[in-house]
Structure 1
Amino acid sequence: MFVIRVTVFVLIGLLSLAPQLSAAVPENKQQIAHAPEDGWTMPSAIVLIDAGHGGIDGGATAGNTLEKDINLAIAQKLYLLLNSQGIPAVLNRTGDYALSEENRWHVSRSRHKRDLSQRRQLTDEIETTMLVSLHVNWTKDRSKHGPLVLHQSTGESALLAFCIQDTLNRQQQTAFYPREGKPFYLLRKVDQPAVIVEMGFISHEGDRTMLTDPREQLRVASAIASGIRQYKWITR
């Protein structure tokens, strides 16, 4: 049995609490319930939110700004928004730790491989219908900016990516198209529709300012949530 860290929130009046929401940080809790006959049972939800990187793995950087912190902050806000809108969601990490630390089953000297395999394993252990993995882009070209959604080769994943790309484009006033992410482990190994959402470029000053501002983080999370709602409406 794997230790899963997920968070349970009761959110009342989300819209009236938007300023507080922008600074909300959930406590680490385990959402693993006892079944009366079968022993342990795992949580279930519609969306598994993958907060990229964490712990020793800071992800992309720009000065003292770390991708892992941006990913977690927006993931927490997306979690709150989705659950308040009747779309059950779970987070695969609720604090600054590496998921490789929870992987006791994959024998590998590579921390990176253990981290990725743990994220993929959670899609089997937790009953969900889609995976949304949050990341931030980086490039040497400081002029590049804007969101990019990567998807699997399946039509369901591509549709989810187009829905999220569209809402992020409108939020950030861009006009980019999603792309197939063939080299990415999660997109190759996860069975259900999965996307990697590159929410902006940490290497671009304007994007970095947006991605580190709590109010703007809420707008990014709201755009992603809107894209997920569009996908659910189309596929209902």
Structure 2
Amino acid sequence: MARVVFVPRRRVRGMLIIALAVLGAFWVRIWYQGVKEEQAIQALSWAVANQVVVVDPGHGGIDAGAMGPGGTPEHRVNLAISKDLAGFLKAGGAKVILTRQDDNVPLGESGDDLVERVRLAGKVGADLFISVHCNAFDSRERGAQLFYDPKSAEGKKLAESIQAEIKRLLANTDRVPLSIDAFVLRTQKIPAVIVEVGFISNPEEEKLLADPHYQRRMAFAIYAGIVNYLAGKGTPAGGKPAG
């Protein structure tokens, strides 16, 4: 028969108080770090003032994009993160245009949504074009990654800046930006990037991408990268210079 050990109630209460204090201190530290990071970005928010930014939530309409193993549709994740990103940019003083506000995708006279997304950027005189997508491949693959047009030096700089902030703030990826031949990138004269916010095909990452809190954190990391790029920093906000 196992021996039963009775712990005095006062001792249990003391242990509980210590545990709660340690846990409280941990969350206060996390909150404080988050506040410092946001303050560092806000100190540079002047860089986005009066900028015209087109935020493009990928897919939508009859094209739902990829579907996660748990049933999360890509087009909704793209839209949620894009709306959060638009909110951060507007708060910084930028003029933001979303290529779609809901599941409907304007097809215009061309009948091609990709053509219309690019055409919208030209029509409003956009300074930047940010297209938000989820990646999908093997269920073991994970991590956010940026893509830019190989002929765009500024697109590469923007991609590197955003990738650095996602890596720093979310610590979810060791991937690096890559050049790619994509219609929404090569048909524009302005800095344009595709942000693959993660692999929706990965069950664990799918859960994160479906979480509104994580979506907002991702949007803030993208915003931080845009701010750093426009401020000419080339380094993570509040961080050490690269190299």
Task: Give the corresponding residue for 1:58.
Answer: 64
Q: Please say if 1:142 is aligned against 2:139.
A: yes
Please give the alpha-carbon distance, in whole angstroms, between the structure 2 residues aligned to 1:49 and 1:156. 17
Over aligned residues, Cα RMSD in angstroms? 1.7
Task: From the superposition, tell whether residues 45 and 232 of structure 1 become closer, same or farther in structure 2 (CA, over 3 Å).
Answer: closer
Q: SS of 1:132's equivalent?
A: strand
Task: Give the corresponding residue for 1:5.
Answer: none
Deviation digits for residues 16-45 of structure 1 (CA, Å, limit 9, x no counterpart): xxxxxxxxxxxxxxxxxxxxxxxxxxxx95
Task: Give the corresponding residue for 2:102.
Answer: 95
Q: Please say if 1:234 is aligned against 2:232.
A: yes
The runs of at least 4 consecutive aligned structure 1 residues that moved more than 6 Å come to: none
Please give the alpha-carbon distance, in whole angstroms, between the structure 1 residues aligned to 2:66 and 2:214. 19
Q: Please say if 1:81 is aligned against 2:79.
A: no
Task: Give the corresponding residue for 2:55.
Answer: 49
Tell whether the 8 Å contact from 1:74 to 1:217 is kept in structure 2 after alignment: yes
Please give the alpha-carbon distance, in whole angstroms, between the structure 1 residues aligned to 2:127 and 2:221. 19
Deviation digits for residues 150-197 of structure 1 (CA, Å, limit 9, x no counterpart): 001211100000000111112331221100012x11111111110000
Letter of the structure 2 residue corresponding to residue 147 of structure 1: A
Task: Give the corresponding residue for 1:175.
Answer: 174
Q: Give, in angstroms, the shift of residue 99 of structure 1.
A: 2.7
Please give the alpha-carbon distance, in whole angstroms, between the structure 2 residues aligned to 1:70 and 1:83. 20
Letter of the structure 2 residue corresponding to residue 199 of structure 1: V
Gaps in structure 1 of 5+ consecutive residues: 1-43
Please give the alpha-carbon distance, in whole angstroms, between the structure 2 residues aligned to 1:56 and 1:98. 9
Please give the alpha-carbon distance, in whole angstroms, between the structure 2 residues aligned to 1:225 and 1:87. 11
**1:117-128 counterparts in 2 under 5 A?**
117-128=115-126
Q: SS of 2:132's equivalent?
A: strand
Letter of the structure 2 residue corresponding to residue 76 of structure 1: K
Q: SS of 1:98's equivalent?
A: coil
Tell whether the 8 Å contact from 1:45 to 1:127 is kept in structure 2 after alignment: no
145-154 vs 224-233, which moves further: 145-154
Select the structure that is richer in helix. 2
For normalisation by structure 1, the TM-score amounts to: 0.73
For normalisation by structure 2, the TM-score amounts to: 0.71
Deviation digits for residues 102-133 of structure 1 (CA, Å, limit 9, x no counterpart): x12x2xxxx6xx11111111111112101000
Q: Please say if 1:222 is aligned against 2:228.
A: no
2:211 to 210, 213, 218: 213
Tell whether the 8 Å contact from 1:211 to 1:217 is kept in structure 2 after alignment: yes
Please give the alpha-carbon distance, in whole angstroms, between the structure 2 residues aligned to 1:145 and 1:192. 29
Identity between Structure 1 and Structure 2 (%)? 35
Gaps in structure 2 of 5+ consecutive residues: 1-49, 234-243
Tell whether the 8 Å contact from 2:147 to 2:180 is kept in structure 1 after alignment: yes
Task: From the superposition, tell whether residues 99 and 45 of structure 1 become closer, same or farther in structure 2 (CA, over 3 Å).
Answer: farther
79-88 vs 218-227, which moves further: 79-88
Letter of the structure 2 residue corresponding to residue 229 of structure 1: V
Q: Give, in angstroms, the shift of residue 210 of structure 1.
A: 1.1
Please give the alpha-carbon distance, in whole angstroms, between the structure 2 residues aligned to 1:155 and 1:222. 24
Deviation digits for residues 49-80 of structure 1 (CA, Å, limit 9, x no counterpart): 01111111100112421110000001111001
